[in-house]
């Protein structure tokens, strides 16, 4: 008998209803017509610089109902929504919209990359996606630019509470499994 220790990968859970959920959401309707030609990936500027970003694969995972794998993947957040793939897809798949739907579903599951939570926290504190250092505002002054507009932080906080955005940015960070 062999002493070799065998390792097994955790089986992927398939949710047969996941595809229908995406198809029902505004922007997700064209998921079903992707036939995996790969044109989107070959024309995507993000895929050219990031090997792990393959939008056609994300479409396939979603079609197969691999909900957990898709929604916990940080790669769905890499889409720059440039729509190059939309222009070139022979099937008319609205890739950028489908990916937006997947991101919205990921948020509902609490799968939000840390960087976006940090952006959200900064908006609640300053009204901007990051803290703007004094050196930057000084450069604006020196260049003769007007000061940045003041943001009504209290209004943003109220909006964030009412929409549940505060809870979204408080949740646990997702794992990168892809």
Which residues in this chain contact ligand SF4 in the complex, by CB under 6 A? Answer: 34-40, 44, 46, 55-56, 59, 79-85, 89, 91, 93, 95-96
Taking alpha carbons only, the member of 114, 154, 148 closest to residue 133 is 148
CB of 17 to ligand SF4, least distance (A): 21
Task: Pick the closer one to ligand SF4 by CB: 93 or 123.
Answer: 93
CB of 57 to ligand SF4, least distance (A): 9
Contact 116, 145 (CB under 8 A): no
Task: Pick the closer one to ligand SF4 by CB: 37 or 166.
Answer: 37
Give the separation between CA 104 and CA 118, rounded to whole angstroms: 17
Furthest-apart CA atoms within the chain: distance in Å: 80
CB of 73 to ligand SF4, least distance (A): 13
Q: Alpha carbon of 108 to those of 70, 95, 175: distances in Å? A: 13, 20, 15
Task: Pick the closer one to ligand SF4 by CB: 80 or 148.
Answer: 80
CB of 67 to ligand SF4, least distance (A): 19
Q: Alpha carbon of 120 to those of 8, 103, 111, 134, 173: distances in Å? A: 39, 15, 14, 21, 13
Task: Pick the closer one to ligand SF4 by CB: 44 or 111.
Answer: 44
């Amino acid at each position: 008998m062999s002493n070799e220790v065998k390792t097994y990968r955790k089986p992927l859970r398939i949710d047969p209803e996941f595809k229908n959920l995406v198809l029902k959401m505004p922007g997700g309707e064209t998921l079903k017509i992707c036939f995996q030609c790969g044109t989107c990936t070959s024309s995507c500027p993000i895929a050219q610089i990031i090997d792990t970003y393959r939008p056609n694969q994300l479409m396939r995972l979603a079609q197969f109902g691999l909900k957990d794998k898709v929604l916990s993947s940080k790669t769905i957040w890499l889409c720059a929504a440039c729509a190059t793939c939309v222009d070139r897809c022979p099937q008319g798949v609205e890739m950028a919209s489908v990916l937006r739907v997947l991101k919205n579903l990921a948020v509902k599951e609490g799968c939000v990359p840390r960087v976006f939570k940090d952006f959200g926290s900064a908006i609640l504190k300053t009204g901007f996606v990051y803290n703007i250092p004094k050196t930057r505002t000084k450069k604006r002054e020196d260049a003769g630019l007007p000061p940045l507009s003041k943001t009504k932080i209290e209004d943003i906080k109220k909006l964030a509470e009412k929409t549940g955005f505060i809870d979204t940015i408080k949740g646990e960070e997702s794992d990168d499994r892809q």
